[in-house]
Chain A
Amino acid sequence: MKFLKKLPYSLLVTVCSIVAIACMFFPLVNVTNGGKFFTSYTGWKLISGIDFAASLDILRDSTQTVTMDIGILIVACAILATVAFFIKNKYGLRFGAAASGVGVLASVLLMVEMNNGLAMKIAQLSADTQYSFTSWPKFTFTIWLFVMVGVFALQLVIGILANIFSPINEVQTTLVQKRAITGYLFLLPFIIGFLLFFLTPVVKSLVFSLSIVDVHGTGGYTITNAGWYQAATGTIYVPYNYYRALFVDVNFSSYLLTSITNMATTLPLVVIFSFFAAVLLNRSFKGRGFVRAVFFMPVILTSGVILAIETSDVLMTAMQASFQNQVASSGSSGMQAFELQTMLTALNIPEKIVTVVMAVVNNLYSIISASGVQILVFLAALQSVPRSLYEASSIEGATGWEDFWKITLPMVSPYFVVNIVYTVVDCFTSAAKIGDKYSSYSSILDFIYDISFVNMDYGLGSAMSWIYFLCIGLIMVVIVAIVNKFVFYYDER
Chain B
Amino acid sequence: MSTTTEVKSKYIDPVTHEVLTPEEYRTRQKAKIKKKLGKVGVGIGLFVIVFGICFIILYPLFVKFSVAIRSQADLYDTTVIYIPKHLSLETFKSIWDLVLKDQVVTMENNIIVNTVWTSLLAAVTQTIACTLVGYGFARFKFPGKNVVFALVILCLVVPPQTIQLTYSLHMQNFDFFGIVNYLFCTRVNLLDSALPFALIGLTAQGYKNGLYIYMIRQNFRNLPKELEEAAYVDGAGNLRTFVQVMLPSAVSILVSIFLFAFVWQWTDTYYSGVFLENTKVMSKVLNSLAQTYWVAFKSALEQGNIPNALASQINNIGSILVAAPLLVLYIFTQRFFVESVERSGIVG
Contact = CB atoms under 8 A, between A and B. Distances in A.
- Is B a genuine binding partner of A? yes
Interface of A: 69, 73, 83, 86-87, 90, 109-110, 112-113, 115-117, 132-133, 176, 179-187, 189-194, 196-198, 200-202, 204-205, 208, 219-221, 277, 280, 283, 285, 289, 291-301, 303-310, 312-316, 319-320, 322-323, 326, 364-365, 368-369, 373, 376-377, 379-380, 382-388, 418, 421-422, 425, 428-429, 445, 448-449, 452-453, 458, 461-462, 465-466, 468-469, 472-473, 476, 493
A418 B214 CA distance: 10
B267 A383 contact: no
B260 A186 contact: no
Contact of B203 (A109, A180, A193): A193
On chain B, which size bracket covers the interface?
A: 35 or more
B235 interface: no
B338 A289 contact: yes
Contacts of B203: 189-190, 192-194, 196-197
B141 interface: yes
B260 A314 contact: no
A68 to B, nearest CB: 10
Interface stretch (B10-18, B88-96, B98-106, B147-155): B147-155
A183 B220 CA distance: 14
B222 interface: yes
Given A190-B203, A277-B53, A493-B221, A326 B170 contact: no
A86 B144 contact: yes
B195 interface: no
B140 A186 contact: yes
B57 interface: yes
Contacts of A219: 169, 172-173, 189
Contacts of B75: 315
B1 interface: no
Contacts of A306: 267, 319, 322-323
A209 to B, nearest CB: 10
Contact of B162 (A132, A197, A466): A466
The 6 closest A-B pairs by CB, nearest first: A193-B203, A186-B136, A183-B140, A383-B345, A304-B267, A315-B312
Contact of B211 (A179, A208, A422): A422
Interface string B157-196: 1111111111101101101111101100100010000000
Interface in B278-297: 283-284, 286-287
Interface string B64-102: 100100000001000001000000000000000000000
A189 B204 contact: yes
A269 to B, nearest CB: 14
Contacts of B129: 189-190, 193
B159 A198 contact: no
B309 to A, nearest CB: 6
Contact of A190 (B176, B204, B338): B204
Contact of B312 (A283, A316, A382): A316
Given A187-B133, A193-B204, 19 more contacts: A112-B177, A116-B175, A179-B141, A179-B238, A190-B133, A201-B163, A201-B170, A204-B166, A277-B53, A294-B58, A298-B57, A300-B327, A301-B323, A305-B287, A307-B267, A425-B157, A445-B161, A461-B165, A473-B157
B120 interface: no
B260 A299 contact: yes
24 contacts: A69-B178, A179-B142, A181-B142, A193-B204, A196-B177, A197-B200, A205-B162, A293-B338, A295-B57, A297-B57, A305-B286, A306-B323, A314-B309, A314-B311, A316-B312, A373-B211, A380-B345, A384-B348, A422-B211, A428-B159, A445-B159, A445-B161, A448-B161, A468-B159
Contacts of A323: 81
B121 interface: no
B114 interface: no
A309 B319 contact: yes
Contacts of A69: 178
B304 interface: no
Nearest to B58: A294
A204 B156 CA distance: 18
B133 A310 contact: no
Contact of A314 (B155, B178, B284, B308): B308
A113 to B, nearest CB: 4
Contacts of B179: 109, 112
Contact of B286 (A191, A309, A449, A465): A309
A421 B145 CA distance: 20
A196 B178 CA distance: 11
A493 B141 CA distance: 11
A314 B312 contact: yes
A183 B142 contact: yes
Contacts of A309: 286-287, 315, 318-319
